[in-house]
Structure 1
């Protein structure tokens, strides 16, 4: 892109590299949006957010700080790569950082589609009240679109998928917002998905805690309705993200079923479940459905679900452990999200899962005083967690006919990923566990045949723990 022609002294657009040295001066800028922070309340009554831009002088970038009384007066960038024009912003410094300050009294802005859709797209999709379009803008927007189409823009491709995340690591995450759930007055939970499986996390809880403080099935305070769960894909992890009151205005910018890029977020594990955490400098980029990275992600997912083993967790390949066998070797596998959202009850399934908790935890208590097995297992795969019961003859099928406590304890430890040196029976402690992937058969049923979704339960059947 050639250097911009200066139209007149009052209406010239500066390149970022020149504007960065114009401290305390008012300038006009045009650039490609590569980052927007989530809007927050200031200590006063305003909202503030930051929009980072790049132009043909990259890798130099510049952040523009926006302040406004209401959320509709802050730029709402529709997609990464869109173009923003700002006028009469003041170049300022904070320490070694140079940035542009938008003044709500005299500054103006306009947002344009980043792609070239013809003459009809020379009208902004959002603009401030003081913005006035001039004929020179048409040439500048056209030139910026042409430059962005033929050049790789730094800062837009450093992305990570859910299958690559690590505990405590700061990441830029490409994902789709599947659902926005209000947890309480000033707290929301986002449900994020990209078609891949998050890596299985180690379980840190004590076995004996399962009675008073059971391992949760989900991170939200109450389970989502079946109608909502049915909108989730049945393959791939749906990870939770909390947005608390310090980000409460940003929820207006977030819409479900949109592809986004979260910048500088942290991934944590809570009770063995992955959770994304916003950081003070986290940012959000809205992606268009025809973004190359989005199309690549969707293509990879579509290729996955067409495979015979699509429902197997990524980390179970080439095959889950052989410590269990089922009576139905030819039945296709499904995920636990398939199990949760299936329309029919009673229905039978075969899954590959990890056993992350068991109740009661002592092998001596697996059977009732009259000798009947009665055990609740907590099962998980990349898509969900459920409780499944081992009862009566299904327990005998699973554990075998040797009822000695030592044998049952060894089988339990093998199932839960507890090492041979950990004596959990005599000295229960907080042992880090990484349970193996195992296959099992599940059956859904209602406790009350006249009841509906709320009482749906699951039993393990036709499965043997062979060691």
Structure 2
């Protein structure tokens, strides 16, 4: 059969043509990350739909390298495939792309100029046909937006729950190689993840401290300064049980719909996990989900209370008070990325760890307070020191060991079972003032350290 004789089959009709070669054209809905197979090939799956079958069909692509696999630029782009074999397995019907005789081409979807009929990616065997242009133009005129949205309900990061799978729309802020053949994504949607309980006992903090971040090495300040100052920047990793995935091919500064992502808590920090069943697709900037998240973010940063954590409601607990009640609130990401040092800030934070943990050891041998508190909000986790007169002010109403023990447990949100045994910690939100300093040693966030000042605990 010559290329000129090829005709496209509707997806709804093609699913019944088991073991036959067909030609298909449709709009892309989602794709898997490219990965290496157990053999010498690379693999990805792309789902396309047309008007005949709203649920569409998955096309399984095999190619010599990951660069040869189709790379869909946006959801709704047009995928054209010749000579794919309709196959079946227990979980349904799919189309198999054979690198020996199949071919594909990718075209921009709805919103493109009718005159722009040049594919942005083709396979080695693809041969353009004049008669295909009419079909491509027709697909561009059709609106598949509602059908695509209807396939997946999406959630904000503020709605995720531990151990469950969700579909989320996020912007990819950064990708980093954290180990050999191991990459991490940094994603964000403008909302705040829920605070989580701390499982570690406070007496373990000296020997096994809570990490400030999930990546093995801290990001450079230059990278941090590109992150939004409001909303959680969530780390995304790959399920260790998977074969090598082409995560390094994911593009930064693009919005993406992540499908069937598992969410976990590690070291009292949220993380997302790409699993073998996860899928994804890039979204254009004018996608409704994207515009909605950008609008919410702009509203947050433009209002006085927009930097308050979502879960803090109207105001934090009354455990602490500051000497600057009218100061504007900032996030810890504001603190980390602020260009000036020395500088002063007011934040809403949780105290997730404290060293030393015994109230008897809060003072140095010379009698001055010396503590390191680990503070967090939805944007970051930092160490802040409480020293000398700032410690006197912080604990001015809690001078006895019993009073210090009480305020320590309140700050750390210690929960105990009916027998009095320690269970978990759920630290409350408190307000505090922070000041930044420069030091000469190599601190994990650059050369800055932070201290608590003008803040008082109320026993």
253, 257, 261: which is aligned to 1:261?
A: 257
Alignment deviations for residues 394-440 of structure 1 (CA, whole Å, 9 cap, x no partner): 1111111543211101011111111476898xx6x4x2111110000
Decide which moves more: 396-405 or 372-381. Answer: 396-405
1:383-398 → structure 2 map (5 Å cutoff): 383-398=379-394
Aligned to 1:129: 124
Q: CA deviation at 1:151?
A: 5.2
- Please say if 1:152 is aligned against 2:144: no
Q: Is contact 2:155–2:169 with CA below 8 Å preserved after alignment?
A: yes
Q: 1:29 to 1:453 in 2, by over 3 A?
A: closer
Alignment deviations for residues 151-198 of structure 1 (CA, whole Å, 9 cap, x no partner): 533555521111111101111111011111111111011100111111
Aligned to 2:95: 100
Partner Cα separation in structure 1 for residue 145 and residue 154 of structure 2: 21
- Please say if 1:447 is aligned against 2:439: yes
Aligned to 1:3: none
Partner Cα separation in structure 2 for residue 19 and residue 413 of structure 1: 65
Decide which moves more: 451-460 or 399-408. Answer: 451-460
Decide which moves more: 413-422 or 267-276. Answer: 413-422
Aligned to 2:308: 312
Aligned to 1:290: 286
Alignment deviations for residues 288-336 of structure 1 (CA, whole Å, 9 cap, x no partner): 1222221121112111211111111011111111111000011101000
Q: Is contact 2:397–2:458 with CA below 8 Å preserved after alignment?
A: no
* SS of structure 1 residue aligned to 2:116: helix
Count of matched residue pairs = 456
Aligned to 1:276: 272
Q: Is contact 1:35–1:284 with CA below 8 Å preserved after alignment?
A: yes
Decide which moves more: 249-258 or 270-279. Answer: 249-258
Q: 1:167 to 1:126 in 2, by over 3 A?
A: same
Q: CA deviation at 1:253?
A: 2.7
* SS of structure 1 residue aligned to 2:131: helix
* SS of structure 2 residue aligned to 1:455: strand
Aligned to 2:76: 81
Partner Cα separation in structure 2 for residue 9 and residue 373 of structure 1: 84
Aligned to 2:196: 201
Partner Cα separation in structure 2 for residue 306 and residue 453 of structure 1: 27
Q: 1:420 to 1:96 in 2, by over 3 A?
A: closer
Aligned to 2:409: 413
Q: Give the unaligned 5+ runs of structure 1.
A: 1-7
* SS of structure 2 residue aligned to 1:160: coil
1:68-467 → structure 2 map (5 Å cutoff): 68-148=63-143, 152-153=147-148, 155=150, 157-243=152-238, 246=242, 248-400=244-396, 402-419=398-415, 429=422, 431-448=423-440, 454-467=446-459
Partner Cα separation in structure 2 for residue 199 and residue 381 of structure 1: 10
Alignment deviations for residues 344-383 of structure 1 (CA, whole Å, 9 cap, x no partner): 1111000000000111111111112332111110000000
Please provide the CA RMSD for this pair. 2.2
Partner Cα separation in structure 2 for residue 183 and residue 234 of structure 1: 23
* SS of structure 2 residue aligned to 1:305: helix
Aligned to 1:5: none
Decide which moves more: 339-348 or 133-142. Answer: 133-142
- TM-score normalised by the chain length of structure 1: 0.93
Q: Is contact 1:320–1:438 with CA below 8 Å preserved after alignment?
A: yes
Partner Cα separation in structure 1 for residue 45 and residue 347 of structure 2: 46
Alignment deviations for residues 99-154 of structure 1 (CA, whole Å, 9 cap, x no partner): 10000011011111112422332111111121122222111112212222575335
Q: Is contact 1:336–1:385 with CA below 8 Å preserved after alignment?
A: yes
Partner Cα separation in structure 1 for residue 38 and residue 191 of structure 2: 40
Q: CA deviation at 1:10?
A: 3.6
Q: Is contact 1:38–1:247 with CA below 8 Å preserved after alignment?
A: no
Q: 1:347 to 1:455 in 2, by over 3 A?
A: same
Partner Cα separation in structure 2 for residue 351 and residue 207 of structure 1: 23
Q: Is contact 1:76–1:253 with CA below 8 Å preserved after alignment?
A: no
Q: 1:206 to 1:423 in 2, by over 3 A?
A: farther
Alignment deviations for residues 62-109 of structure 1 (CA, whole Å, 9 cap, x no partner): 110000001221100001111101010000011241110000011011
Q: Is contact 1:59–1:154 with CA below 8 Å preserved after alignment?
A: no
* SS of structure 1 residue aligned to 2:256: strand
* SS of structure 2 residue aligned to 1:44: coil
Partner Cα separation in structure 2 for residue 149 and residue 155 of structure 1: 10
Partner Cα separation in structure 2 for residue 145 and residue 48 of structure 1: 27
* SS of structure 1 residue aligned to 2:26: strand
Partner Cα separation in structure 2 for residue 164 and residue 453 of structure 1: 29
* SS of structure 2 residue aligned to 1:167: coil
Q: Is contact 1:116–1:142 with CA below 8 Å preserved after alignment?
A: no
Aligned to 1:4: none
Partner Cα separation in structure 1 for residue 167 and residue 344 of structure 2: 39
